[in-house]
A and B are shown apart, each in its own frame.
Chain A
């Protein structure tokens, strides 16, 4: 199957030569002769496609829907990183408080008071 996949990959660069000659010139001629009737080509279906292709929200949603595993992975990683930093910060703050308490206890003022 690997070979088939390799050939299919190369096949993306393949183009068909139109039998009736120059397709570019035909299209250019067609565009030169556009009239009001052609506006009907921009039907409801096209306008829906056009609206979606111009919507950043829709494009992002599509990307997520096409790769749900990838985006779930990103979210889990972000949550993990945030949790890790919260934990580290909490630990550092706790240690800071602890050492402050210890410092208070071991200060000469405290010692004289104790005596």
Chain B
């Protein structure tokens, strides 16, 4: 008898089917997962690394890791959560490596010219009106230009749903510092929006 999936969103059902098929070696199903999540992975990597080329490299690396290990994925968390954590971990490793080997200051002017922001939700609710989207784009541009000490905790907390404790562990900073930096970052955004 066919299993009913009452109360589940079509995307959720698709995702589970795609994962199951990918686990059994269906390459087309995995490619569909790539289509569904690649922009999300790229965006996450871009906001953390502030470098388009590195964000692309990380996106490829993340999907190679997923492809090689998906057979063992038990699905205790959603695929999106899993891939998000994998992306963030990979990006933090890159940042650590970058701080050891390279000059981490990237030209901010160049940055603003290089990327274009879009929205995944096509349905325009009142809250997501044109004006709001324009302001959000402005907010994201402010975030991208924040110092790393403020940018990373803010992105992890407000865009990626990490807890303060998880952020503190990930970036090796005391939880108090993380909370203060996030608060300051939000205040900086507020002040810059007023200007």
Q: Which residues of A come within 8 Å of B, CB atoms?
A: 1, 3-8, 10-20, 23-24, 26-28, 30-31, 34, 38-39, 41-42, 45-46, 49-50, 53-56, 59, 62, 65-67
Contact = CB atoms under 8 A, between A and B. Distances in A.
B102 interface: no
B6 interface: no
13 contacts: A1-B186, A13-B121, A14-B117, A14-B136, A15-B42, A16-B115, A17-B115, A23-B38, A24-B35, A24-B39, A27-B60, A46-B86, A53-B77
A15 B187 CA distance: 24
B26 interface: no
Interface of B: 27, 30-31, 34-35, 38-40, 42-43, 46-47, 52-53, 55-56, 59-61, 63-65, 67-69, 72-74, 76-77, 82, 85-86, 89, 93, 114-121, 127-128, 132-133, 135-137, 139-140, 143, 158-159, 163, 165-166, 186-187, 189-190, 193
B189 A65 contact: no
A27 B59 contact: yes
B65 A10 contact: no
Contact of A31 (B30, B73, B137, B189): B30
Closest 8 CB pairs of A and B: A66-B163, A17-B116, A8-B158, A15-B39, A54-B74, A30-B60, A16-B43, A7-B139
A45 B158 CA distance: 25
A14 B119 contact: yes
Contact of B73 (A5, A45, A54, A65): A54
B86 A15 contact: no
A4 B163 CA distance: 19
Given A14-B119, A53-B77, A45 B64 contact: no
B39 A13 contact: no
Contact of A19 (B52, B133, B163): B52
Contact of A13 (B47, B128, B135): B128
SS class, residues of chain B in contact with chain A: helix
B64 A31 contact: yes
B89 A42 contact: no
Interface of A is mostly: helix
Given A7-B136, A8-B159, A41-B65, A23 B42 contact: yes
A38 B159 contact: no
B65 A46 contact: yes
B68 A7 contact: no
B56 A38 contact: no
Given A7-B139, A31-B64, A66-B166, A15 B56 contact: no
